[in-house]
Amino acid sequence: MRLLLLSTPVGPLGSGLGGGVELTLHNIAQELHQRGHSLQIVAPQGSQETLPLVGISGNLQVTAQTLERDAHISLPTNSVLANIWEYARQVEADYDLLVNFAYDWLPFYLTPFLHRPIAHLVSMGSLSLAMDQVIEHVAIQFPGTIGVHSQAQADTFAFAKQCRCLGNGLDLSRYQFQTVPNDFLAWVGRIAPEKGIEDAIAASQQTGIPLKVLGAMPDPAYWQQVCQAYPNAPVSYEGFLSTQRLQQILGQCRGLLMTPRWVEAFGNVAIEALACGVPVIAYRRGGPAEIVQHGKTGWLVEPDSVEGLVQAIARLDQIDRHTCRQQAEAQYSMSAMGNRVEAWFNDILRSAN
């Protein structure tokens, strides 16, 4: 297939501004290139990518999760999103399929105006009425072209049944399996209210087991406030690390705690832990609840229950760390994800011709 991959407009690839979708786009591109498909990535100027890439200038888009549910659609002047899709309109005839990674109104609205089929990989759950409406319109008019990462994410939309669940995938060769853990737990993610770090810290204070916190800290004041609430908790902040450093520390821990307050669309961190052989304790909420195999590769806990976390921590030793790595290899490798994505693209092309 000849594929045109259109990236998120919130930041250049490699800047981290695009969050999980940067890694998802790169992994899908890498794997499909490996399989002999020809592809071109289109992304904001300044993007880092080893594969063929066109950098587009213009002003970045505001991130969707900071908006209110009734927010109007907005575009800055000289919008990089609009410029990306003007480029797509000019070159679409050279490709069989366009793949949209942006969680933005414009690509969905433009879908009927373009001539080539478009696969939309939706990276988050329902966030606003305007986005729900425009995605639903495409889901109905172009059946099978809306991809999501988990059923829980799909269920946040009225058109859940029209969504194609793709899971996600990682380059597992970057994650080393570690058999014998040290005596500490880990929490990994952006330190923000929707991630529920307070509960993980409370569990660490109750069990007395040290907790290592890894991830971006967008708001240090929030972190201070959380630490003051739990002065005796044995918690240490390790920083926002590269994958190499992250997996080194993550692989040594007895278990990963996932305490999301919101519906995580997927939970890449859960499969990073499994790849290192680390059991995952997660609230039974969102994507992580579909990843963790209760009692086999971790424990699913009553949402927002610190007591539940504490009881699950006591049962971590019942989990075989080899089983964790095996699940990552079976379901979340580049080839497993590549099979799901390639099948999705083939189905779209088949129904488009």
Q: How many alpha carbons fall within 13 Å on the CB side of residue 250?
A: 32
- Give 268's contacts (C-beta < 8 A, 6+ positions apart): 20, 23, 168, 170
Residue 76 binding ligand HBI, by CB under 6 A: no
* 54 vs 349, beta carbon nearer ligand HBI: 54
Task: Please select the residue that binds ligand HBI; options are 6, 12, 13, 18, rule is CB under 6 A.
Answer: 18
Considering the rule CB under 6 A, would residue 264 count as an interface residue with ligand HBI?
Answer: no
Give the shortest CB-11-to-ligand HBI separation in angstroms. Answer: 9
DSSP code string of 24-39: HHHHHHHHHHHTT-EE
Q: For residue 38, count other CB atoms closer than 10 A to its CB.
A: 13
Query: Under rule CB under 6 A, how many of the chain's residues touch ligand HBI?
Result: 15
* Minimum CB–partner distance for residue 17 and ligand HBI (Å): 8
CA dihedral sign, ordered 276, 281, 284, 286: negative
The neighbouring-strand residues paired with 2 are 38
65: contact with ligand HBI by CB under 6 A: yes
Using CB under 6 A as the binding rule, whether residue 63 contacts ligand HBI is answered as yes
Return the number of the residue (18 or 251) whose C-beta is nearest ligand HBI: 18
Which residue number, 13 or 301, has a Cβ lying nearer to ligand HBI?
Answer: 13
Cβ closest to ligand HBI, residue 104 vs residue 272: 104
| Listed ranges 56-64, 152-160, 202-210, 223-231: which one lies at the site for ligand HBI (CB under 6 A) | 56-64
By beta-carbon proximity to ligand HBI, the closer residue of 86 and 307 is 86
Q: Which of 186, 193, 175, 239 is nearest to 212 (CA)?
A: 186
> Residue 148 or residue 233: which is nearer to ligand HBI going by CB?
148
Q: Does 102 bind ligand HBI (CB under 6 A)?
A: yes
Contact residue for ligand HBI among 14, 20, 55, 76 (CB under 6 A) = 20
Query: Contacts from 24-29 at CB under 8 Å and sequence distance 24+?
Result: 24/101, 24/121, 24/123, 24/168, 25/101, 26/51, 27/169, 27/170, 27/171, 27/334, 27/337, 28/99, 28/121, 28/337, 28/338, 28/341, 29/5
Instruction: Write down the least CB distance from residue 285 to ligand HBI, Å.
Output: 17
- Please answer whether residues 166 and 238 qualify as being in contact, where contact means their C-beta atoms are separated by less than 8 angstroms: no
What are phi and psi for residue 146, nearest 5 degrees?
A: -105, 115
Binding of residue 29 to ligand HBI (CB under 6 A): no
Question: Strand order of the sheet with strand 235-239?
Answer: 235-239, 211-214, 185-188, 255-258, 280-283, 298-301
Q: Which of 245, 257, 243, 252 is nearest to 304 (CA)?
A: 257
Distances 205 to 33, 136, 213, 299 between C-alpha atoms, Å: 47, 45, 14, 20
Of 108 and 175, the one with the shorter C-beta distance to ligand HBI is 108
* Sole binder of ligand HBI in the list 4, 64, 280, 281 (CB under 6 A): 64
Residue in 5, 13, 21, 80 binding ligand HBI, rule: CB under 6 A: 21
Least Å distance, CB 123 to ligand HBI, is 4
* Smaller CB separation from ligand HBI, 131 or 336: 131
Q: Which of residues 104-163 bind ligand HBI (CB under 6 A)?
A: 104, 123-124
Among 3, 5, 6, 10, binds ligand HBI (CB under 6 A): 10
Indicate whether 42 belongs to the interface with ligand HBI (CB under 6 A). Answer: no
- Taking the C-alpha atoms of residue 177 and residue 98, their distance in angstroms, rounded to an integer, is 36
Q: Give the binding site for ligand HBI (CB under 6 A).
A: 8, 10, 18-21, 61, 63-65, 102-104, 123-124
